[in-house]
Structure 1
Amino acid sequence: MAELRVLESRITHLSDRCAALRAETHDDDYLQNASSILDRLKSAQAGESSSVAKLLQDYTQVILDITFYEENRLVDQEFPEDTSPFKIQQLLQDLTEPEILAGRLAPTQEVQVVLGLELLECLYWRRGALLYMYCHTLHQRKQWIKQNKATFLKCVQEGVRYLMKMLQVRSSVKLNDGVVFHDSTTANFLSEGIFSDTHLLTMMYIGEMCFWAVKYEDGSADGAEQKEDRLHFRDIGAQILNKYVLACEGPLQGQGWNTENAKEILSILQ
């Protein structure tokens, strides 16, 4: 099968990439984990029976581990202006590939069934968080923003789209669908699509990125077609941050979640 051969080729490529990265550093847990999984995947290529879903899930974990190491290096280097755009696009492509392969290798199944909800959430989260960190750094480079506003806004929009998809991977639990909850707080969280601390952090990231977009948007410079494709940043940011504040000042009060920045942004967006 041609698609499986593509996967085998990608596994070989990732193995070489992981080995090169491990030669640059010592005892990185993520690269060690990726190397172990790659050894198992290469054994599977040699004839060990394994389902397509399991192969793709392992492959996805390798992608997540290797790119996590590379992302951290970019953050530590404060996103060098000359090399970051190319590297970020490469990382985004890496983190998109598992979905593409899942669609090709298991066309009759939904991607979330093949990869699993947690891995799919993580793929969206990692892409959105990468763009958030990049935009957070660019936001502090005022001169760069003046000269590259369109590029900045494109990164913001892509980041918000990925983070919104992350929040939509698990359908919000309906409180009237026969599910019995013994904890009303948990029930309210699930009904709002809040399943973990990462979901809350995602909301804050979305709110900040929407604020940056509203701050730097210049509608008069865009064509009508671009305006149609643009997200309604003010509405999205306000809706998400209101949920964030309600959760943090309600059931999560005293748990270390700060709402000052969220409220400040809300005062501007609303």
Structure 2
Amino acid sequence: MESFLQDLTDEIHSIQSFCDQKRSQDSVDDHSLLDKSVKNCKDAQIVVETLVQSDLTLPLADSTMDRINNALSLYVQALLDQTYYNECKLLDQNFLVTNADDVVQSIVDELNKPFKLEEKLRTMYSAGKDIFSIEIKECLFWRCGALIYMFCHTIKNTKKNLNSPGNRILQLLKIGIAFLIRMLNIRKAPNSDDKDEDIVYNDEATFKLIKQGIYSDTHVLAYAYAGEMCYWHCYYFKDDAIQKEQITVSSNIGSQTCNNNNDEHLNRYSEISSNIILSKFNFRTNGLALLDQYLNVVNGPLKSYGWDSKKIEIMRNILQSQN
């Protein structure tokens, strides 16, 4: 447990050092995100210091686990603010920075660190339940997938070749799809018409959305973004044999049986992509399923809420026409 707390302390100090450095360098910037991050770092460190003085003999007391969860939550909030600051910098520059793909990869690496800490704690504590809440996990997966989507979307719109030799766009597309699919599969939608007492809903339309795995606008966008990245993969990487492999797909997106591969970039994220190692991922089949789900929702329960479907329908028809 001491090694875990030391790792957590190191991560907290790393975030705080970064924020302090940026606050001193960027005098004209709005530092609200950095300020929030530093505050959460300080609060997390206070909790960690109380834990160091506690009885850490296994099995841990429930009160000790509660404090550990509190420290981790504060750390994650600090990390989310710090990485969002970096994302905003990239977006302000329209990703026109040297080695932008490396910067994107670095942010994704940072957002992956909480899962490594969680896994270490679960291994030490033999915890049978997740440490982080569903909302935190969804946020982390979404932030990774959405950032990769925005980067690839910007590259595409600047007329750059997504399939240029030596770049990592192909790997980033795969990772981005995996993150979004994992986000969409964290919650289990009800499997029948019976209204589960644990599900909070205000009307019949809301319950219909929940049954389709839609819990927020972010879930709707995740279907669109993941489907669009599958489309880009099929469009820009037509000669890639990966997209032609067969795969078993169940009714819910992402529940696939896939074989492992030796792709370093993908293997780094295997533990958080629900075993979606994309060596045999059918981008056309899954892209169609993702886009169809988006269209079903925006042309159904959300029809009167102004969601655009024209662009998605065009991509869906192109994928459908492919052999």
Same fold (TM over 0.5): yes
- Structure 1 distance, partners of 2:12, 2:111, is 14
1:264 aligns with 314
1:5 aligns with 6
Is 1:32 aligned to 2:49, yes or no? no
Is 1:100 aligned to 2:100, yes or no? no
Equivalent residue letter for 2:318: I
Among candidates 201, 204, 218, match of residue 184 of structure 1? 204
- Structure 2 distance, partners of 1:143, 1:164, is 26
Equivalent residue letter for 1:123: L
Deviation at 1:144, TM superposition (A): 3.9
Among candidates 232, 239, 247, match of residue 282 of structure 2? 232
Deviation at 1:91, TM superposition (A): 0.7
Among candidates 115, 128, 131, match of residue 148 of structure 2? 131
1:194 aligns with 214
Report if the CA contact (8 A) 1:3-1:105 is conserved.
Answer: yes
User: Which segment is superposed worse, 145-154 or 217-226?
Assistant: 217-226
Among candidates 104, 109, 119, match of residue 127 of structure 2? 109
After TM superposition, where is structure 1 displaced by more than 6 Å over at least 4 residues in a row? 221-228
Is 1:63 aligned to 2:63, yes or no? no
- Structure 2 distance, partners of 1:76, 1:148, is 27
Report if the CA contact (8 A) 1:60-1:98 is conserved.
Answer: yes
- Structure 2 distance, partners of 1:182, 1:31, is 37
- Structure 2 distance, partners of 1:151, 1:27, is 32
Among candidates 246, 249, 263, match of residue 296 of structure 2? 246
Report if the CA contact (8 A) 1:175-1:187 is conserved.
Answer: no
State the secondary structure of the residue aligned to 2:191: coil
Given the superposition, is the C-alpha separation of residues 131 and 83 from structure 1 closer, same or farther in structure 2, using an over 3 Å criterion?
same
Is 1:209 aligned to 2:226, yes or no? no
1:86 aligns with 102
Residue deviations 1:23-56, cap 9 Å, x none?
3154433222111111112222333776211111
Equivalent residue letter for 1:200: V
Q: How many residues align?
A: 269
Is 1:46 aligned to 2:62, yes or no? no
Report if the CA contact (8 A) 2:149-2:229 is conserved.
Answer: yes
User: Which segment is superposed worse, 218-227 or 253-262?
Assistant: 218-227
Give ranges in structure 2 of 5+ residues lacking alignment: 55-65, 246-260, 264-276
Deviation at 1:19, TM superposition (A): 1.1
Given the superposition, is the C-alpha separation of residues 189 and 132 from structure 1 closer, same or farther in structure 2, using an over 3 Å criterion?
same
Given the superposition, is the C-alpha separation of residues 45 and 156 from structure 1 closer, same or farther in structure 2, using an over 3 Å criterion?
same
1:119 aligns with 136
Report if the CA contact (8 A) 2:45-2:71 is conserved.
Answer: no
State the secondary structure of the residue aligned to 2:127: coil
Report if the CA contact (8 A) 2:208-2:301 is conserved.
Answer: no
- Structure 2 distance, partners of 1:146, 1:156, is 11
Report if the CA contact (8 A) 2:4-2:120 is conserved.
Answer: yes
Given the superposition, is the C-alpha separation of residues 182 and 141 from structure 1 closer, same or farther in structure 2, using an over 3 Å criterion?
closer
Is 1:151 aligned to 2:168, yes or no? yes
State the identity as a percent: 29
Equivalent residue letter for 2:216: S
State the secondary structure of the residue aligned to 1:115: coil
- Structure 1 distance, partners of 2:73, 2:176, is 24
Equivalent residue letter for 1:250: G
Deviation at 1:82, TM superposition (A): 2.2
Equivalent residue letter for 2:176: G
Given the superposition, is the C-alpha separation of residues 241 and 218 from structure 1 closer, same or farther in structure 2, using an over 3 Å criterion?
closer
Give ranges in structure 1 of 5+ residues lacking alignment: none
Deviation at 1:128, TM superposition (A): 0.2
Equivalent residue letter for 1:80: L
Report if the CA contact (8 A) 1:211-1:265 is conserved.
Answer: yes
Report if the CA contact (8 A) 1:41-1:55 is conserved.
Answer: yes
